[in-house]
């Protein structure tokens, strides 16, 4: 079992390195876009609310594979900026995951007591001031567990990029098959690798929950 990992360490190292980079870039982009979509959905401007709701509805109900197909094959026909398959994979994951990030953040905002919003308005706070000074600091505490679940799902979703010429962990099994290596053992090592990558996310979640529970 160890021999397979040692003999094919080049595949595992390259695959998981690309997986980590793909995950980090997509996570940062999805958090930023998802937060922006949340602001649009809770905005007092009807057009922004409509756009935010439309985006979330479309991408939450679209299979991730179709999103990848769009960026891999339809995007080049738009003749926009020419980017690599890796970049297209990042864009696909950002566009898809941002919809779920938006819903998580919005659910956290909904947990904030309405009375606090009314009090902030009575004090003359503008919408952006209320959002940044009153709502978001309280909402963050309640969104940590579901947001961690979204990020874990994002980490697992990176394997879909293997079908679009992106050399990450999802391409380890086909490469092992070409080398004639035992696939079952290879898949077991991949599962262990993903388990190890999930650990920091879980530890961070528990640390934040513990810290904020003490702060309360």
Q: Convert the pLDDT of each residue in 132-177 to its tens digit.
A: 777 777 777 778 888 888 999 998 888 887 766 666 676 777 777 7
Using CA atoms, how far residue 214 sits from 73, 98, 204, 205, 210, in Å, is 50, 30, 15, 14, 6
Tell which wins on pLDDT, 88 or 139: 88
117-129 pLDDT, tens digit each: 677 777 777 777 7
pTM of the predicted model as reported, rounded to 2 decimal places: 0.84
**CATH number of the CATH domain containing 93:** 1.10.3720.10
Is the model's pLDDT at 214 over the cut of 50? no
Count structural domains, the chain.
Answer: 1
Domain extent for 198: 2-215
CA distance 4 to 11: 11
The per-residue pLDDT for range 35-44, each reduced to its tens digit, is: 899 888 888 8
State the DSSP string of 33-69: HHHHHHHHHT-S-HHHHHHHHHHHHHHHTS-HHHHHH
């Amino acid at each position: 079992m160890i021999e397979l990992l040692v003999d094919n360490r080049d595949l595992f190292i390259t695959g998981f390195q690309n997986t980590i980079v793909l995950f980090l870039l997509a996570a940062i982009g999805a958090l930023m876009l998802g937060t922006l979509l949340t602001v649009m959905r809770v905005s007092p401007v009807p057009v922004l609310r409509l756009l935010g709701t439309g985006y979330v509805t479309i991408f939450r109900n679209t299979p991730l594979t179709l999103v990848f197909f769009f960026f891999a094959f339809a995007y080049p026909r738009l003749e926009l900026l020419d980017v690599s398959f890796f970049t297209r994979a990042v864009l696909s994951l950002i566009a898809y995951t941002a919809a779920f990030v938006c819903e998580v953040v919005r659910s956290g905002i909904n947990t904030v007591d309405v009375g606090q919003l009314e009090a902030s308005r009575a004090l003359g706070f503008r919408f952006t001031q209320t959002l940044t000074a009153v709502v978001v600091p309280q909402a963050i505490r309640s969104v940590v567990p579901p947001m961690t679940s979204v990020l874990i799902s994002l980490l697992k979703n990176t394997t879909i990029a293997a079908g679009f010429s992106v050399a990450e962990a999802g391409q380890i099994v086909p490469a092992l098959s070409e080398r004639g290596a035992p696939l079952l053992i290879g898949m077991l090592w991949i599962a262990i690798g993903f388990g190890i990558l999930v650990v920091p996310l879980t530890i961070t979640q528990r640390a934040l929950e513990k810290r904020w529970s003490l702060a309360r």
